[in-house]
Amino acid sequence: MILHNSMATSLFLMSLLMLLLDSNPCTALSWRNNSLVDDIGIPCPVSPHPFTMCKSEAEAYGYPCEDHKVTTEDGYILSLKRIPHGHDTDNSTGDQKTRQPILLFHGLFVDGVSWLLGTPEQSLGFILADGGFDVWLANTRGTNTSRKHTSLSPKDPAFWDWSWDQIAEYDLPAVLEFVYHHTGRQKVHYIGHSLGTLIILAAFSEHKLLHLVRSAVLLCPIAYLSRTRSDLTRLAAQMFLAEAVYRIGIHEFNPVGKVAAQLLAKVCGDPKIDCHDVFSALAGPDCCLNKSTTCAFMLHAPQPTSMRNLIHLSQMVRSEGVRRYDYGNAKENMKHYKQPHPPLYNLSSIPTHVPMLLTHGGQDFLGDVPDTRHLLKTLVRNHDSDNIEVQYLPDYAHADFVIAYNAPRLVYEPMVDFFQRH
């Protein structure tokens, strides 16, 4: 299928490259009066520099911030940020030895700064630090602060030869082990959003990391994607992704964040295109984003990821179940997995004693209600009832759980209560 119309091509590429985008970066829909705040008509201020999590976010508000480097088993050097306590030590709860560690793991096309985009009263990272927790913020391979490797350069195609399989297999255990050993061997509370939920579910399904994780909160849990309500995402997934990428001249393993950013600017700057419609079609109409937080997101995202990662996610939309990356033919799959088809992540095998809180929204087109209910049915059926909780917010879409102005009351307070009970 070849798209000739320029506007249609732009929309197609957005659906292709912004799959699982974790925000609605062009407009915000008011919770109270259902009115649009148009960020095209009121431009965001120009930022003189990309956000550096410690300097421009945490330290700017008076919070301590540490930058650690973690090397994965396959050689990627990841940036791991830490906010060890609140901005006012005298008013902080607990001390370094008693504070419970929490690891926050971001979604696709963003990095750890997504937890700090608002004020200290709005941002989950700051709220947890002020609440007495030792806060750690992960940054996956390929994002701007995690673009180093022991032997590869980001210019090498091999640097981008990975999907979320490798994030679950290497990045996640590396940062969890680091936090565990740097906090007195305390088990770690885990918070994931979108792709950050998929990787922990994959690990748990193989009975991995259980000795490191105390509890897990899954915001917009992503696992089953075949029922997605996003027509653009479904279109991108149903087409032969690698062929489409080849046609526009992007190498399969090259990063796509830069290209996505250029497309984002083009689409959002075209007066003929309603940017709100594009992103609502992708991730659902976010209810509760204010302009300042939306602008902060626009100035920082999209972050790079690999094309293979997007291909893997598109495979999940086109098929039932949660499988490892499909190399496209039996010979290659046999080479990697010793079987003709990629193996399943058996989510029903997740141990029933793991404390989990899953929260999802009725307007989320990516972690949509039918797919999430399928996941919940898989998990809740056999899980210890004292160790699993579910929260449903009918007006929330994908980004609301991370940057909505009312998330502290609706999402974060129940989350902290969950941690205190586990």
- Residues belonging to the active site: 194, 364, 398
Helix (H, G, I), strand (E, B) or coil at 124: helix
What are the helix and strand counts (H, E) for the chain? 16, 11
What is the DSSP code string of 336-370?
A: HHSSSSPPB--GGGS-TTS-EEEEEETT-SSS-HH
> How far apart, in whole angstroms, are the C-alpha atoms of residue 194 and residue 172?
14
Q: Which residues contact 99 (CB under 8 A, 6 or more apart)?
A: 84, 85, 132, 133, 134, 183
Question: Quick one: CA torsion of 69, 71, 72, 78, rounded to 10 degrees?
Answer: 30
With tokens 């917009």, the residue in question is 220
Q: How many CB atoms lie within 10 A of CB 292?
A: 16
Amino acid code (one letter) for 248: I
Pinpoint the alpha helices (H) of 248-360.
257-269, 275-283, 291-300, 307-318, 330-337
> How many angstroms from the chain centroid is the CA of residue 14?
18
What are the start-end ranges of the E strands in 100-168? Answer: 101-105, 134-137, 148-149
Amino acid code (one letter) for 259: V
Q: How many CB atoms lie within 10 A of CB 303?
A: 28
DSSP 79: E
Asked if residue 82 lies in contact with residue 134, where contact means CB atoms within 8 angstroms, the answer is yes
> How far apart, in whole angstroms, are the C-alpha atoms of residue 254 and residue 156?
9
> How far apart, in whole angstroms, are the C-alpha atoms of residue 239 and residue 409?
41
> How far apart, in whole angstroms, are the C-alpha atoms of residue 77 and residue 370?
37
Amino acid code (one letter) for 151: S
Which of 246, 230, 222, 320 minimizes the C-alpha distance to 278?
230
Bridge-based pairing of strands 134-137 and 76-83 is: antiparallel
Helix (H, G, I), strand (E, B) or coil at 137: strand
